[in-house]
Structure 1
Amino acid sequence: MSSLHLEVKQMIIDALDLEDLDVTEIDDSEPLFVDGLGLDSIDALEIGLALQKRYGIKLKADSEETRQHFASVNALVALIQSQAERK
């Protein structure tokens, strides 16, 4: 597990006030919504704001591409890495 994976998991925990959850309890490939963590659209907005604040990444709320980025921790890490490479 990379430090970026840990960072993203901690960002999710912090953004959503999930104090009772530890980074080790979030599976990198587990879905963040529906199954897995069971997050909802409000949680997605909070994560989106945290991504924008921490990494300068702006996402379109209603795009299919954004839904793919929010599929799992692995997908968010890939997004952050691809954005970093563009800079």
Structure 2
Amino acid sequence: MAAGSGRLEAFPSFHAKQYEFFHYIELCEVLKKDAILLKARGLGFSEMMAVLGVRPYITTRNFRCLYTAFSDLKLDPLLDKCW
């Protein structure tokens, strides 16, 4: 695939680290702790993080979620997934 040609549409692959991360998030919720994630790009975590922030925002009163990125060019696509 040539650079800049975009991604192919396909079913997402699910990796063991993503499974582990969901357990980490669940543990943080049970223990009432915050979570933080540092990761490489292109692993599908932006979709996962969008969902993890939107679900409790819709179902939990006074829930707050913070998304941050070093650039609006990185943050805006994530926020688009949330809205």
Higher relative contact order (CA 8 A, sep 6+): 1
Quick check: which has more Rg, 1 or 2?
2
TM-score normalised per structure 1: 0.29
